[in-house]
C-alpha cells in the first residue's frame, strides 16, 4: 500500500524485523535504504542481508575520505530493481552544481539528485533541484565585485602610465 518504504540501516533486532517484513510484503522498487557513515555497520549489514536477498551488495569505498561539507551523516542510498538487484548511490561523491546547492537544507538537493532513478522506477515525476536564489545572488555579487576590482586595477595602471 505504501508508495515508498524508507529504512535507515541498523543492527538492532527491530531493524531486522522491519526489513524482513518489508522484504516479504513490499515490491522491491518501493524500498529505499539509507546508509549512515559507519563502515562496520554497513559491512555487517552487507553480510547479514545476503541471507535475505539473493543479490550481492557492493562494497562502498571512500569511507576514510574526508566527509564533504553539508552531506550529513549519510554515506549512500540503496534502491532496487524488480529482481532485488541493488543500486547504490554514494552521496559523498555525488556532484551537484553550485547554483543547485542549498545552505539551509544541504542534504535535500543531494538526495533529490541521487534518487532520480528511484522516482523513475516508481513512475513519479522528477525535477532537478531548484536553482537557489541565494547562491545565484552570491554569484552575481561576486561577479560585480570582480568587475569593480578589474576596473580599479585598470584605472591604477592607466594612471601610472599617464
Among 18-22, 52-56, 139-143, the minimum mean pLDDT is found in 52-56
Of 46 and 134, which is predicted with more confidence? 46
Confidence of residue 102 (pLDDT cuts 50, 70, 90): low
Q: Phi and psi dihedrals of 147, rounded to 5?
A: -65, -45
DSSP3 helix / strand / coil % (the chain, rounded to 5): 45, 15, 40
CB-based burial label for 90 (10 Å; 0-12, 13-18, 19+): middle
Q: Please tell me the predicted confidence (pLDDT) of residue 65.
A: 63
Q: Which residues pair with 7 in a beta bridge?
A: 33
DSSP per residue over 12-33, as a string?
Answer: SHHHHHHHHHHHHHS-GGGEEE
Grid-cell match 531493524, residue found: 15
What's the whole-model pTM score? 0.72
Average pLDDT, the chain: 82
Give yes or no for residue 51 having a pLDDT over 80: yes
Report the percent of the chain where pLDDT is more than 70. 86
Beta-carbon contacts of residue 94 (< 8 Å; ≥ 6 apart): 110, 113, 114
Maximal CA-CA distance, the chain: 83
Residue 96: count other Cβ atoms within 10 Å of its Cβ. Answer: 19
The answer to whether residues 39 and 56 touch, using CB atoms and an 8 Å cutoff, is no
Report whether 6 contacts 34 (CB < 8 A): yes
d(CA 113, CA 127): 9
Amino acid at each position: 500500500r505504501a508508495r515508498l518504504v524508507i529504512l535507515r540501516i541498523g543492527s538492532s533486532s527491530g531493524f531486522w524485523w522491519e526489513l524482513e517484513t518489508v522484504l516479504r510484503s513490499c515490491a522491491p522498487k518501493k524500498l529505499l535504504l539509507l546508509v549512515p557513515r559507519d563502515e562496520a555497520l554497513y559491512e555487517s549489514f552487507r553480510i547479514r542481508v545476503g541471507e535475505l536477498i539473493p543479490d550481492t551488495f557492493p562494497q562502498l569505498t571512500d569511507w576514510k575520505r574526508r566527509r564533504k561539507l553539508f552531506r550529513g551523516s549519510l554515506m549512500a542510498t540503496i534502491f532496487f530493481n524488480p529482481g532485488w538487484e541493488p543500486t547504490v548511490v554514494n552521496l559523498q561523491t555525488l556532484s551537484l552544481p553550485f547554483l543547485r546547492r542549498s545552505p539551509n537544507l544541504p542534504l535535500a538537493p543531494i538526495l533529490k539528485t541521487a534518487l532520480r532513478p528511484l522516482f523513475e522506477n516508481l513512475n513519479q515525476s522528477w525535477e532537478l533541484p531548484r536553482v537557489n536564489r541565494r547562491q545565484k545572488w552570491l554569484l552575481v555579487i561576486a561577479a560585480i565585485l570582480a568587475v569593480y576590482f578589474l576596473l580599479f586595477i585598470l584605472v591604477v595602471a592607466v594612471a601610472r602610465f599617464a
